[in-house]
């Protein structure tokens, strides 16, 4: 019984197995190249490299599961980043000068902005009856414009303590970034996945008409999904603020493309209804760590996109070929069975 | 109460007058665009009975049950439950009134497990809104065992067979413990054993628990086993309700079909005795087509009959190169050919008019003209550049020949009525000059007038040297047009009927697999 259950579990999660295999290879290469890999600095640097994309991928995964796509996530991250970098000190001063109180207040405000932005996307999709790709393409531009309005020039004032807190270690051992990832998993993904709204994600993405026939609240579920995507973008914005200690509205960023790639790499189907955050995490880690590997090998980071693209194609081909050979085998069996008759 | 239930169950008329129907609909009307699906129709179902709805395809049975379970919104009319007027506008409303349905088209989520599907939108939760998955699996396991289904609740629906999926769908409806259970062609994918299981279940629900069941099926033998009373629909109208057993089969058929009009005057094209347009020898494909041997005579309309889902559609698609046969030989005009894709089929002069007009047949947002010329772009272009003059010529010919009623061929096809859309599909296929035409249920959802036009067109085409393979879900069409009919059962040709053998009775007996093959090796 237990054995069979394991088998079914593996079957259900077969897609992310590939991603975790690739990730294992990448980590081994890291261990071989990074001198301090096995010290406390190793995990810290690795998690600092992957955390932003991991969080961005959570939001993207949720949207992709509904068979939508979020093209605004990159610009929303930049926008929230700019807001955080700009309001941090003014908020701190208004609240009495403590950078802890100011930091908490800033985070709350930024997260709220993110949720509202996501909710706006959701409303356009649900009530405007527009396609997610069109809506988020447009709102992405809007967020980018708002970022420039908030922060016409790159900069901002972020205390170094804030940066150290989010990129450092707890008790000098455990990387903060890893804790944040755990929090994202245990406070956002799992409760959401195990709620009716989470179950609705899969139903809507799998077959929206069937979901409707089953009495699923489609509009509400989508609004929740987009709000959570907005929240994740904002968290990512906060982390980016801590990492860069500034806000740059003109910064080039690959979050939109990479978050989609991470979800797909992790086994999500862009047609919806299939995928899991655990897969996306592996995808996000691979895509982020590749950059580090290129640096170890002395390859210019100009080729980062090229390598990421090739990895994506290769990983997806594995799925394609397994399916291809499976079908071929089944066909051969059907023919053989018939001849036996 | 028990006595009344028994009377109701036996369909005894005297008891019912004093009884309040469990579910009743009155004066229901529904239009889909230009097509009337229901016109002032009604039905009543009492506690403790299995009420069957019968009628031809498109007579309004399905629309009626879809209105009852809130999937389709009615234009007018009332629904009563135990005498109380109720308002059903959504699937949730129907669920709140304890109405559950199983439809022919499945509404399962492929990437969720059996148990998750059974509980979809009704998951047990704890205080924090977290779904209790362990409870879902335990409860589903217990429930499946209780109703006697051998299914693992943890398996993904995607990995089930079609038959198992339909069982899950039924289990899902049963789990809601409905007062009114609707089974719309719910047996189409089930095997014999499963059908028996379902009928036992239905017996328990109605006779022991006093629930009401609305049952739709095209298999007469199934109706015979389960029906307490029946309501007949014809052409979107209510015809009559009667206790089962009160009418002979012939009478029922007469009421279902109504008086057949003067259509019968068409002469059935017999085709050439010597020339064969298309021949299949021992052709098989996957699990859906087995050892098919057939000959299409030149100039004939070869009918393909059988209940839906027994391989007819797959045959027509395979002949058009949409999914090649695994084994067997194909001859076109005596020459052996392979049909690996649509272009190959076209090059051998075979063209398909697919059953799904809106998705496979047309590009609804493009113009009538563009749709007509879609398959013959090469013939209307000069070295790769489309010639406006040739294009206009082809379109004008087609519009005239098919008498498509339209102001301008520049309008989008989506703006036409179903009948005219179908004419565009046929015009498109004919523009390829292919002489073997595969018609897959071409008259689905179109009005009587256009249907008759299409029949005449088919007859005329055979005189011009076309050969037609004609699959239809409406038996009357096959009886009208085909001198030869192949009846499919479970992917095999169960019988080849010719001349006088082509009767409704013969086709039905063969298509439910009780006739014993006349064409078996």
User: Does the beta carbon of B129 lie under 8 angstroms from any beta carbon of chain A?
Assistant: yes
pLDDT of res. A159: 92
Q: Which of 3.30.450, 2.60.40, 1.10.3470, 1.20.120 would CATH assign to domain A15-301? A: 1.10.3470
Residues 236-295 of A with CB under 8 A from B: 273-274
Do the Cβ atoms of A274 and B152 come within 8 Å?
A: no
Helix (H) / strand (E) element for B469: namely strand B467-471
Whether residue B337 sits in one domain with residue B458: yes
pLDDT tens digit sequence for B44-64: 999 999 999 987 766 788 889
Whether residue B338 sits in one domain with residue B266: yes
User: Does the beta carbon of A214 lie under 8 angstroms from any beta carbon of chain B?
Assistant: yes
Smallest CA–CA separation between B115 and chain A, in Å?
12
Task: From chain A, pick out residues whose CB is under 8 angstroms from the CB of B112.
Answer: 199, 202-203, 206
Chains A, B: CB contacts under 8 A, how many?
A: 88
Whether residue B367 sits in one domain with residue B403: yes
pLDDT of res. B203: 93
- Per DSSP (E only), the strands in A140-183 are 169-170, 174-175
Do the Cβ atoms of A214 and B121 come within 8 Å?
A: yes
Whether residue B156 sits in one domain with residue B286: no
HSE-up of residue B508 (Cα within 13 Å, Cβ side): 14
Domain boundary among B122, B156, B177: B177
Interatomic CA distance for residues A62 and A192, integer angstroms: 10
Whether residue B137 sits in one domain with residue B94: no
Whether residue B58 sits in one domain with residue B81: yes
pTM (predicted TM-score): 0.77
pLDDT of res. B201: 92
CB B331 within 8 A of CB B276: yes
Interatomic CA distance for residues B274 and B251, integer angstroms: 41
pLDDT of res. B3: 42
Nearest residue to A258 (alpha-carbon basis) of A228, A221, A286, A234: A286
pLDDT of res. B520: 39
Domain boundary among B206, B226, B257: B257
Closest in B129, B284, B327 to A195, CB measured: B129
- Complete edge-to-edge strand list for the sheet that includes strand B76-81: B35-45, B23-32, B76-81, B84-86
Determine the number of helices (DSSP H) and then strands (DSSP E) in chain A.
Answer: 15, 2
Domain of residue B409: give its range.
358-427
The length of chain A is 341
How far, rounded to the nearest angstrom, does the alpha carbon of residue B453 sit from its chain's CA centroid?
22
Six-digit token string for A173: 């051992």
User: Does the beta carbon of A96 lie under 8 angstroms from any beta carbon of chain B?
Assistant: no
Q: How far is CA B174 from each of CA A280, B118, B119, rounded to the nearest angstrom?
A: 37, 9, 11
Q: Is A129 helix (H, G, I), strand (E, B) or coil?
A: coil
Do the Cβ atoms of A331 and B286 come within 8 Å?
A: yes
**Percent of chain A with pLDDT strictly greater than 70:** 96
User: Does the beta carbon of B262 lie under 8 angstroms from any beta carbon of chain A?
Assistant: no
Non-local (6+) Cβ contacts of B93 within 8 A are B70, B87
User: Does the beta carbon of B141 lie under 8 angstroms from any beta carbon of chain A?
Assistant: no
Six-digit token string for B59: 């007579």
Interatomic CA distance for residues A239 and A259, integer angstroms: 16
Whether residue B134 sits in one domain with residue B31: no
Task: From chain A, pick out residues whose CB is under 8 angstroms from the CB of B131.
Answer: 194-196, 198-199
Local structure of residue B113 (DSSP, 8 states) = B
Please check the confidence at residue A156 and state whether its pLDDT lies above 90.
no
User: Does the beta carbon of A207 lie under 8 angstroms from any beta carbon of chain B?
Assistant: yes
What's B267's domain CATH number?
3.40.50.300
Please list the ranges in chain B whose pLDDT falls under 50: 1-15, 261-263, 517-521
Whether residue B192 sits in one domain with residue B120: no
pLDDT of res. B251: 79
Residue B237 domain-assigned (yes or no): yes
Interatomic CA distance for residues B403 and B413, integer angstroms: 15
Q: How much is the average pLDDT of A39-48?
A: 88
Query: Which residue in the block uniquely carries the two structure tokens 């009134």?
Result: B97
Alpha helices in B334-447 (DSSP H): 342-347, 368-372, 388-401, 418-430
Phi, psi of B484 (to 5 degrees): -130, 135
Interatomic CA distance for residues A284 and A185, integer angstroms: 14
Six-digit token string for A42: 């190793």
Reduced to 3 DSSP states, what percent helix, strand and coil does chain A have, rounded to the nearest 5?
80, 0, 20
CB B179 within 8 A of CB B212: yes
List b or e across B172-209, with b for residues whose CB sees 16 or more CB atoms inside 10 angstroms.
bbbbeebbbbbbbbbbbbbeeebbebbbebbeebbbee
Nearest residue to A188 (alpha-carbon basis) of A231, A239, A238: A231
Six-digit token string for A300: 């210019």
Whether residue B156 sits in one domain with residue B17: no
Other CB atoms within a 10 A radius of the CB of residue A145 amount to: 13
Closest in A195, A199, A215 to B92, CB measured: A215
Do the Cβ atoms of B111 and A214 come within 8 Å?
A: no
Burial group, residue B434, by CB count within 10 angstroms (0-12, 13-18, 19+): buried
> Which residue of chain A comes nearest to B110, CA vs CA?
A206
Task: From chain A, pick out residues whose CB is under 8 angstroms from the CB of B156.
Answer: 8, 11-12
The β-bridge relationship of strands B99-102 and B180-184 is parallel
Interatomic CA distance for residues A106 and A108, integer angstroms: 5
pLDDT tens digit sequence for A160-201: 999 999 998 988 889 999 999 999 999 999 999 999 999 999
Structural domains in chain B (count): 4
Interatomic CA distance for residues B413 and B295, integer angstroms: 35
Task: From chain A, pick out residues whose CB is under 8 angstroms from the CB of B327.
Answer: 335, 338-339
pLDDT of res. A1: 57
Residue B103 domain-assigned (yes or no): no
Beta bridge partner(s), residue B214: B51, B182
pLDDT of res. A16: 79
User: Does the beta carbon of A186 lie under 8 angstroms from any beta carbon of chain B?
Assistant: no
Other CB atoms within a 10 A radius of the CB of residue A190 amount to: 15
pLDDT tens digit sequence for B409-418: 888 888 777 7
Q: Is B51 helix (H, G, I), strand (E, B) or coil?
A: strand
Q: Most A CBs within 10 Å: which of B98, B120, B161, B287, as the mutation test of the A interface?
A: B120
Six-digit token string for B82: 């135990």
Do the Cβ atoms of A334 and B159 come within 8 Å?
A: no
Whether residue B79 sits in one domain with residue B225: yes
Q: Is A201 helix (H, G, I), strand (E, B) or coil?
A: helix
Q: How much is the average pLDDT of A215-233?
A: 94
Whether residue B196 sits in one domain with residue B92: yes
User: Does the beta carbon of A211 lie under 8 angstroms from any beta carbon of chain B?
Assistant: yes
Interatomic CA distance for residues B323 and B83, integer angstroms: 53
Q: How far is CA A304 from each of CA A51, A265, A301, B190, rounded to the nearest angstrom?
A: 18, 16, 5, 54
CB A109 within 8 A of CB A87: yes
Closest in A5, A199, A214 to B107, CB measured: A214
Other CB atoms within a 10 A radius of the CB of residue B258 amount to: 14
Domain boundary among B137, B157, B177: B177
**Does residue B242 come out as left (phi exceeding 0), alpha (psi in the -120 to 50 range) or beta?**
beta
Whether residue B27 sits in one domain with residue B45: yes
CB B24 within 8 A of CB B43: yes
Nearest residue to A255 (alpha-carbon basis) of A294, A230, A222, A284: A284
> Which residue of chain A comes nearest to B327, CA vs CA?
A335
Six-digit token string for B328: 């067997």
Non-local (6+) Cβ contacts of A22 within 8 A are A265, A282, A286, A311, A315
Do the Cβ atoms of B107 and A209 come within 8 Å?
A: yes
Nearest residue to B353 (alpha-carbon basis) of B424, B274, B282: B424
């Amino acid at each position: 019984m237990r054995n069979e259950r394991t088998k079914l579990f593996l079957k259900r999660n077969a897609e992310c197995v590939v991603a975790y295999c690739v990730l294992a290879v990448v980590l081994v290469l890291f261990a071989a190249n990074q001198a301090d890999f096995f010290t406390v600095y190793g995990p810290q640097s690795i998690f600092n490299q992957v955390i932003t994309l991991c969080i961005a991928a959570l939001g993207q995964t949720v949207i992709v599961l509904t068979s939508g796509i979020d093209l605004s996530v990159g610009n929303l991250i930049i926008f929230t980043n700019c807001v955080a970098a700009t309001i941090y000190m003014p908020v701190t001063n208004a609240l009495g000068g403590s950078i802890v109180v100011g930091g908490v207040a800033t985070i709350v405000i930024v997260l709220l902005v993110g949720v509202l932005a996501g909710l706006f996307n959701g409303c356009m999709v649900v009530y405007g009856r527009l396609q997610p790709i069109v809506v988020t393409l447009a709102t992405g531009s809007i967020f980018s414009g708002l970022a420039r309005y908030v922060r016409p020039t790159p900069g901002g004032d972020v205390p170094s303590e804030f940066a150290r807190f989010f990129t450092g270690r707890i008790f000098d051992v455990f990387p903060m970034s890893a804790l944040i990832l755990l929090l994202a998993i245990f406070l956002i993904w799992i409760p959401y996945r195990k709620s009716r709204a989470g179950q609705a994600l899969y139903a809507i993405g799998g077959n929206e008409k069937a979901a409707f026939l089953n009495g699923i609240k489609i509009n509400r579920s989508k609004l929740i999904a987009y709000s959570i995507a907005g929240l994740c973008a904002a968290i990512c914005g906060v982390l980016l603020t801590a990492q860069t200690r500034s806000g740059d509205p003109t910064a080039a960023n690959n979050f939109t493309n990479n978050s989609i790639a991470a979800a797909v790499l992790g086994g999500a189907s862009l047609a919806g209804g299939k995928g899991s955050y655990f897969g996306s995490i592996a995808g996000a880690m691979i895509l982020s760590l590749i950059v580090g590997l290129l640096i170890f090998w002395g390859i210019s980071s100009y080729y980062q996109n090229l390598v990421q693209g090739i990895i994506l194609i290769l990983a997806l081909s594995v799925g394609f070929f397994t399916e291809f050979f499976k079908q071929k085998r089944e066909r051969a069996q059907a023919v053989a069975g018939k001849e036996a008759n | 109460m028990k006595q009344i239930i028994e009377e109701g169950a036996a369909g005894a008329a005297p008891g019912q007058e004093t009884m309040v129907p469990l579910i009743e609909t009155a004066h229901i009307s529904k239009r889909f665009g230009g097509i009337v699906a229901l016109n002032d129709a009604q039905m009543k179902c009492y506690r403790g009975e299995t009420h069957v709805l019968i009628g031809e395809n498109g007579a309004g049975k399905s629309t009626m049950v879809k209105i009852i379970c809130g999937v389709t919104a009615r234009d007018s009319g009332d629904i009563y439950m135990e005498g109380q007027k109720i308002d059903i506008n959504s699937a949730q409303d129907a669920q709140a009134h304890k109405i559950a349905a199983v439809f022919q088209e499945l509404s399962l989520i492929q990437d969720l497990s059996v148990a998750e599907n059974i509980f979809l939108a009704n998951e047990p939760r704890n205080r924090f809104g977290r779904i209790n998955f362990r409870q879902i699996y335990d409860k589903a396991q217990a429930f499946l065992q209780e109703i006697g289904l051998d299914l693992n609740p943890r398996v993904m629906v995607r990995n089930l067979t079609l038959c198992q999926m339909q069982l899950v769908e039924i289990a899902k409806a049963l789990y809601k413990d409905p007062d009114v259970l609707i089974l719309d062609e719910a047996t189409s994918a089930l095997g014999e054993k499963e059908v028996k299981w379902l009928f036992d279940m239905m017996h328990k629900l109605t006779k022991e628990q006093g629930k009401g069941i609305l049952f739709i099926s095209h298999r007469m033998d199934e109706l015979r086993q389960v029906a307490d009373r029946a309501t007949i629909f014809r052409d979107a109208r209510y015809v009559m309700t009667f206790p089962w057993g009160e009418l002979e089969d012939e009478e029922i058929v007469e009421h279902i079909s109504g008086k057949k009009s003067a259509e019968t005057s068409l002469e059935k094209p017999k085709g050439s005795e010597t020339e064969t347009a298309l021949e299949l020898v021992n052709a098989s494909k996957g699990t859906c087509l087995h050892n098919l041997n057939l000959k299409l005579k030149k100039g004939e309309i070869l009918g393909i009959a059988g209940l839906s889902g027994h391989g007819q559609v797959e045959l027509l698609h395979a002949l058009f190169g949409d999914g090649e046969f695994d084994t067997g030989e194909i001859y076109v005009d005596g020459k052996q050919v392979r049909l690996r894709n649509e272009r190959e089929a076209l090059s051998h002069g075979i063209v398909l008019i697919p059953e799904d007009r809106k998705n496979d047949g047309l590009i609804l947002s493009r113009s009538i003209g563009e749709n007509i010329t879609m398959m013959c772009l090469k013939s209307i272009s000069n070295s790769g550049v489309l010639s406006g003059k040739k294009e206009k010529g082809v379109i004008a010919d087609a519009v005239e020949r098919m008498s498509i009623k339209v102001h301008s061929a520049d309008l989008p096809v989506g703006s036409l009525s179903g009948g005219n859309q179908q004419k565009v599909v046929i015009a498109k296929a004919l523009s390829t000059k292919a002489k073997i035409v595969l018609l897959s249920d071409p008259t689905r959802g179109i009005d009587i007038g256009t249907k008759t036009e299409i029949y005449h067109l088919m007859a005329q085409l055979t005189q011009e040297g076309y050969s037609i393979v004609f699959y239809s879900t409406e038996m009357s069409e096959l009886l009208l047009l085909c001198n030869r009919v192949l009846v499919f059962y479970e992917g095999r040709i169960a019988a080849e009927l010719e001349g006088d053998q082509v009767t409704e009775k013969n086709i039905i007996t063969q298509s439910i697999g009780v006739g014993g093959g006349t064409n078996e090796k």
